[in-house]
Amino acid sequence: MSATTAINIQEAKTSLSRLINAALQGEEVVIANRGIPVVRLEPVRQSGKRQLGFIKGTLPESFFEPLSDEELQSWAL
């Protein structure tokens, strides 16, 4: 389990680089306002790279055809 660092806003302003590094190393960093925890600093999870065209072939050709007048009216367009 990672350690927790609780720090007040004023100190966080002067120690931001150190706090970011701590969070990147797995340490839980909590910033407090007047002793009350208000935010948690944590790394952004990187999502996998999206592959161009990954849904190709999953939509029928009719999907790209214009809507009929009846369909447009039902959507109030």
Q: Please provide residue 16's backbone torsions phi and psi, each rounded to the nearest 5 degrees.
A: -60, -45
Which pLDDT belongs to residue 45?
Answer: 85
Q: Is the Cβ–Cβ distance between 29 and 40 less than 8 Å?
A: yes
Does a structural domain hold residue 77?
no
Q: Residue 40: name the closest of 12, 15, 71 by CA.
A: 12
Does a structural domain hold residue 23?
yes
Which pLDDT belongs to residue 77?
Answer: 55
pLDDT digits (tens, 9 = 90+) for 59-68: 888 888 999 9
Distance in angstroms (rounded) separating the CA atoms of residues 13 and 51: 39
Does a structural domain hold residue 72?
no
Boundaries of domain holding 14: 4-41
Does a structural domain hold residue 30?
yes
Does a structural domain hold residue 71?
no
Number of domains observed in the structure of the chain: 1
Which pLDDT belongs to residue 2?
Answer: 63
Q: Is the Cβ–Cβ distance between 5 and 19 less than 8 Å?
A: yes
Does a structural domain hold residue 34?
yes
pLDDT digits (tens, 9 = 90+) for 11-22: 999 999 999 999
Q: Is the Cβ–Cβ distance between 39 and 12 less than 8 Å?
A: no
